Structure 1
Amino acid sequence: MAGAVGNEEDVWGKAIKAADDLYELRDTFFPQNPDDKISKLQQESDLALKPLDSIPAEQRKLPLQRATYEYLRGKILDVVPDYRKEAEDHLSKAVKLNPSLADAWLCLGNCIWKKGDLTSAKNCFNLALSKGSNKKILCQLSMLERRMVQGAENQAEMVEQSIQHAKEAITLDVKDGNSWYNLGNACLTSFFVTGAWDHSKLLQSLKAYQNAEKDERMKLNPDLYFNGATVNKYLENYDRALSGFEAAALKDPSLNAFEEVEKMVNLLKKLENLLKGHSREKILASLASTIGAVNLNSSYKRATLDVLSEGLNKGVAVVGKVLLFVKHESITPLRYYLVCDSNQSCFVLSVYGIRNDAIKEGDVLILLEPYFHNVEFSWKGKCYKFKSIRVDFLEQVLVNGKALPPHQAIRTSIFAQHKP
């Protein structure tokens, strides 16, 4: 009798392990061609069904046994990126036979998400959570909520819900890298949804990604490195961004992260060359004299580049003249300009979220409470060195003595997608 029970546990154990191994492959296998991954998953899912089909019919008769069988079959079939009705049918049977099977609800929600029924997917995740708190389910719910933000009227409220569910997952296991990664994504989405003005959300996102990297299992996740590099790119931490994109590219060639590296290196070279070229021009003297005549609001202290502190300079204003607009390949709305101050010092000005025609060559700018960064780092044997000022809000820039009108602001958005 004991041998029979042991044998029964063994066949079910093999079927469960086959399903787990299949999803491990999904999360760690990143070939050059994404189609190769799909064909590999299809091939391995066919093999994973064999241990399940080898379970004798008498061990599938009871409702709970039948529910587990249907759940495992549906889960295995659903491993591919595209929606499969067959997978949904099996998972639906599983939850009817055993409504307490939380992971079956989770898998059913993921399956339904793929066909675009986001509301029903959310219901499945909530039903799964009603069986008890679970970090994996909370993370999927958080990701789904970020996807549902797209086109919604209450976007800020919905993304805040996503952040709260991500944080709840972390409280269940503070060392789980996937939960931290999910929180990082939620904070990054919030940054864009709220108009890309809340810098603290970027910093929270970066901190969450750093915590995720402490989990050895997450070091196989290329998206973690890509998303972390994206945050560092917005923060102009160029060396970290380059390292992150390169790490992502090595882990998953299909991400085209090497293109991001190339774009950033080209931009940095361009900035450096332009600064070197203009620093020698006699025209700087005449430019500087026009800058000196600009009147400032008395609540701000006039400053030049050489007296700025690293980081945010509160209560300070820098007056400069635009030498040129720097064209670059990135699709992000981060504009770069070459600017000269009244001391004839040239620097790179980066302004987030404004239209191309908002600032033109020859404009005199007043930069309020600028964020100063002395860029100096090496990458692949090449040293990059220049001074940079960044402004994050439209209100921080006066162009020829006037505030920029609201229509000059632009926004960009990113939303969670269902990842296979």
Structure 2
Amino acid sequence: MMMGVEMDQVSKEGEDIMKQATEAADDLYNIRDTYFPSNPNDKITKLQSQSQIALNLLDSIPPEQRKLPTQRATYEYLKGKILDVFPEYSKKAEDHLSKAVKLNPSLADAWLCLGNCIWKKGDLPATRNCFNLALSKGPNKRILSQLSMLERRMAQGAENQEEIVAESIKHAKEAIALDVKDGNSWYNLGNACLTCFFVTGAWDHSKLQQSLKAYQNAEKDESMKSNPDLYFNCATVNTYLENYERALSGFEAAASKDPCLNAAEEVQKMINLFDKLDTMLKGQIKAKRLASLTSSLTEVKLNPSYKRATVCNLLDGLNKTIAIVGKVLFFVKHDNVTPLYYLVCDSSQMCFVLTVYGINSDAIKEGDQITLLDPNFRNNDFSWNEKHYQFRSIRVDFPEQVHVNGKPIPPHHSVRSSIYAQHKP
């Protein structure tokens, strides 16, 4: 009788240690996802010491509590998971995780971990196979999000990019349907919509708006407040939409959460640009010279379906069937590839900023006379670090929106936009 009590006691102890080891593994991944010291080596050191503690705990489970296939499978899974917490591929982690799924093929978490491990060595088809096997055990938001992320990676350089990214969006939405409050699933959808924007030609702003909305939903989840990539990617979308103040705030938030991101540099690049624009717009180009530069603009002939206007007549947003004729005063050099910035003066001698996407820098030069069709106008007015910025701007997304010196822009001047979410696509 006493023997049975002792056996139960050992069994209970084994279960308790297994539970503690499971929690230790979860804590380890929490450190990976939320601890961003200014020196990245400090993070690796912390992960190494914590993973050793978790492994020691796991190995203290009595051998008789690791005999049954299900017990052994859980042990191998946790060991593989702990070993795989580092950024580099680990053969040991793969071996333990492979054993776990052989011993218990219904262990969805082990399939998910095995897929993540194999991904690190670059075998994407095998990774997808693991994720699909994990998913076959039942719907799971984490697995769907990982599959969605993998598909975006597989889309890079593929011939059927759009098709693969559409699958990524589908799986991201399926994850949200399982838990509409899960911030990570919303973040993943935001990344999928942003990727879709670029692979479909970087012109459909509704994709950017969908991405922004998904990121905003992700921010409602407290657990996502520590994810610097969410703020960085959201700021990237706001940069592209020219929501400058929101973009600056987003990059600043990302930098405060992870000093190793280049988010602080993004803020500085933007401020350098705005300071340059501010100086140029306030620079005194003599009225006489402006009058001389713009004197011929009123004579430019327009397509009869367009109505001539000046910048002062424009409303915020798209101004359909309106044409603005201007003279390019300066090409504004700055640190990012996209967009191109120009300082332009219209026929009323009013200066404004022109932002150009999807066209290379050879298409429009200083001194050119340009006609902007259906101008997309914005009156920018914001402050940053107690400095006030105010300027009018017109945005060009397509070559068809601009005529240079009376002629359409030739097709060879078109380029694909090159702003990308830099982190965890």
TM-score range, shorter chain: over 0.9
1:353 positional shift: 2.2
Counting only pairs closer than 5 Å after superposition, residues 257-272 of structure 1 correspond to structure 2 as: 257-272=263-278
Cross-structure match for 2:395: 390
Letter in 1 for 2:154: M
Cross-structure match for 1:30: 36
Counting only pairs closer than 5 Å after superposition, residues 102-117 of structure 1 correspond to structure 2 as: 102-117=108-123
1:184-209 deviation digits (Å, cap 9, x = unpaired): 11111111112211111111111111
Cross-structure match for 2:347: 342
Query: Is 75-84 or 392-401 further displaced after alignment?
Result: 392-401
Alignment counterpart, residue 290 of structure 2, candidates 284, 289, 299: 284
Any conservation in 2 of the 1:143–1:416 contact (CA below 8 Å)? no
Letter in 2 for 1:257: A
1:9-32 deviation digits (Å, cap 9, x = unpaired): 312110100100000000001011
SS of 1:72's equivalent in the other structure is helix
Q: Distance in 2 between matches of 1:135 and 1:373?
A: 39
TM normalised by structure 1 equals 0.96
Alignment counterpart, residue 72 of structure 1, candidates 67, 71, 78: 78
Letter in 1 for 2:267: V
Question: Aligned pair in 2 of structure 1 residues 418, 265: CA closer, same or farther (>3 Å)?
Answer: closer
Cross-structure match for 2:386: 381
Alignment counterpart, residue 359 of structure 1, candidates 360, 364, 378: 364
- Given the alignment of the two structures, is residue 190 of structure 1 paired with residue 224 of structure 2, yes or no? no
1:6 positional shift: 3.8
SS of 2:296's equivalent in the other structure is helix
Cross-structure match for 2:225: 219
Query: Is 370-379 or 72-81 further displaced after alignment?
Result: 370-379
SS of 1:298's equivalent in the other structure is coil
Q: Distance in 2 between matches of 1:418 and 1:255?
A: 12
Q: Distance in 2 between matches of 1:155 and 1:413?
A: 17
1:217-247 deviation digits (Å, cap 9, x = unpaired): 1000000111111111111111111111111
Cross-structure match for 1:399: 404
Q: In angstroms, what is the RMSD of aligned CA positions?
A: 1.5
Cross-structure match for 1:177: 183
TM normalised by structure 2 equals 0.95
1:299-336 deviation digits (Å, cap 9, x = unpaired): 22221111111111122211111111000011x32000
Question: Aligned pair in 2 of structure 1 residues 418, 362: CA closer, same or farther (>3 Å)?
Answer: closer
Q: Distance in 2 between matches of 1:46 and 1:394?
A: 58
Q: How many residues align?
A: 418
Alignment counterpart, residue 144 of structure 1, candidates 146, 150, 172: 150
SS of 2:344's equivalent in the other structure is strand
Q: Distance in 1 between matches of 2:80 and 2:362?
A: 54
Letter in 1 for 2:151: E
Query: Is 193-202 or 53-62 further displaced after alignment?
Result: 193-202
Alignment counterpart, residue 42 of structure 1, candidates 38, 48, 56: 48
- Given the alignment of the two structures, is residue 87 of structure 1 paired with residue 87 of structure 2, yes or no? no
Q: Distance in 2 between matches of 1:158 and 1:80?
A: 28
Query: Is 140-149 or 282-291 further displaced after alignment?
Result: 282-291
Any conservation in 2 of the 1:144–1:416 contact (CA below 8 Å)? no
Q: Distance in 2 between matches of 1:359 and 1:346?
A: 17
Any conservation in 2 of the 1:193–1:413 contact (CA below 8 Å)? no
Any conservation in 2 of the 1:351–1:392 contact (CA below 8 Å)? yes
Q: Distance in 1 between matches of 2:421 and 2:300?
A: 43
Q: Distance in 2 between matches of 1:157 and 1:279?
A: 52
Letter in 2 for 1:112: I
1:39 positional shift: 2.5
Letter in 2 for 1:335: L
Alignment counterpart, residue 377 of structure 2, candidates 372, 375, 378: 372
1:100 positional shift: 0.7
Sequence identity percentage = 70
SS of 2:144's equivalent in the other structure is helix
1:156 positional shift: 1.1
Alignment counterpart, residue 327 of structure 1, candidates 321, 333, 356: 333
Q: Distance in 2 between matches of 1:371 and 1:213?
A: 29
SS of 1:282's equivalent in the other structure is helix
* Structure 2: unaligned runs, 5 residues or longer: none
Q: Distance in 2 between matches of 1:418 and 1:180?
A: 14
Any conservation in 2 of the 1:149–1:415 contact (CA below 8 Å)? no
Counting only pairs closer than 5 Å after superposition, residues 233-252 of structure 1 correspond to structure 2 as: 233-252=239-258
Cross-structure match for 2:22: 16
Cross-structure match for 1:55: 61
Cross-structure match for 2:259: 253
Any conservation in 2 of the 1:394–1:404 contact (CA below 8 Å)? yes
1:267 positional shift: 0.2
Letter in 1 for 2:152: R
Q: Distance in 2 between matches of 1:413 and 1:98?
A: 44
Cross-structure match for 1:124: 130
Any conservation in 1 of the 2:382–2:389 contact (CA below 8 Å)? yes
1:35 positional shift: 2.5
1:371-399 deviation digits (Å, cap 9, x = unpaired): 11111011111110111111111211111
- Given the alignment of the two structures, is residue 7 of structure 1 paired with residue 13 of structure 2, yes or no? yes
